[in-house]
Amino acid sequence: MKNISIIICHRYHTCAGGKCLRAMREREGAFALYKNEEIELVGYTTCGGCPGGNIEYAPIEMKKNGAQIVHLATGLVVGYPPCPRLRFFCEFIPGKYNLNVVIGTHPIPQNYFAVHQNLGTWQTDTWQERIQHVLTDEKTRLAYD
């Protein structure tokens, strides 16, 4: 059993988590990493808003609930602009809390994919690595619009 938690971008703080939970259930997007494993969601919160103050405190609560892995939600990479603190979050959470971090939850929706392709947001090797777990085929992207 893998215990996971999700941190979403605060600009989406009213999000009900539908796409993330669907992807988790269907093992799509970043949750395809657990295709043959049982997973349980043990925490869900926002980053707290820029500059991400909740990143300093939320992971310890998640860890107390058994979290082994923190997923930084897809919204942190598809929103515009993408989260400028993503690299810091990916270093800080494992460094302070010894928790693994995965960038992404649900597959990138087609509408966001088209915008970022047009803008050239994800053209660098760094961005390609960041979106690797949530970049899917067009049919799946359309299903998450």
> What per-residue confidence (pLDDT) applies to 32?
97
Across all residues in the chain, what is the average pLDDT? 96
- The pLDDT of 122-140, averaged and rounded, is 96
Give the chain's domains with CATH numbers.
Answer: 2-143 (3.40.50)
Distance of CA 10 to the CA centre of its chain: 12
> What per-residue confidence (pLDDT) applies to 18?
95
> What per-residue confidence (pLDDT) applies to 111?
96
Strand ranges inside the chain, DSSP E: 2-8, 39-46, 69-72, 100-103
- The pLDDT of 111-139, averaged and rounded, is 96
> What per-residue confidence (pLDDT) applies to 30?
98
Q: In whole angstroms, how far apart are CA 27 and each of 24, 34, 127? A: 5, 7, 22
